[in-house]
Amino acid sequence: MGRTLEWRWFALGGVILVAQSFVDITPEGPWNSRSFSRGLVGLVGLMCLYVAWFRWAFDRKGVVPTTNLWKNPDETWRNVLLFGLSCLLIVKAVVWLGYSEWFPEPAGMILTLIGCLVILNALYVGLVTVGPLAASPEEE
């Protein structure tokens, strides 16, 4: 049985909206700021990408990846932690290598926020599955 929820349209829309933030084609909008419009459209694109990932990963509607949705949370939380750390390392590498002028100004801040939220989620899942907050067998 295949996936029941369509996630590809969210992914396509998200990629297009995020890609536009690298070029200056957005209108000024009611706030008379092209860069604000570009950032706002980019953030909407990131939200679409997140919804697409959630639907792809869990095959259900929603936005909160609770531990009961994970197939093997006691094993995969480390991969999620590595992804969050890699987001932070990418931001550092872009700054260290001097490529920051190729990206929109808030890109580093947004990628840092994503990395920190992913790390927080991974640490929580690790703590409640294999860490000190894990339920003992007699509690279940």
User: Is the overall model pTM greater than 0.85, yes or no?
Assistant: no
53 vs 1: which has the higher pLDDT: 53
18 vs 82: which has the higher pLDDT: 82
Q: Which pLDDT value is given to residue 137?
A: 64
Region 57-75: mean pLDDT is 88
Region 83-95: mean pLDDT is 93
pLDDT at 50 > cutoff 60: yes
pLDDT at 49 > cutoff 90: yes
Strand locations in the chain (E): none
Region 80-94: mean pLDDT is 94
Provide the pLDDT confidence category of residue 140 given band limits of 50, 70 and 90: low
Q: What share of the chain is helix, strand, coil (3-state, %, to 5)?
A: 65, 0, 35
What residues have CB less than 8 Å from 1, skipping those under 6 apart?
none
Provide the pLDDT confidence category of residue 68 given band limits of 50, 70 and 90: confident
Instruction: Compute CA distances 17 → 7, 81, 87, whole Å.
Output: 16, 27, 20
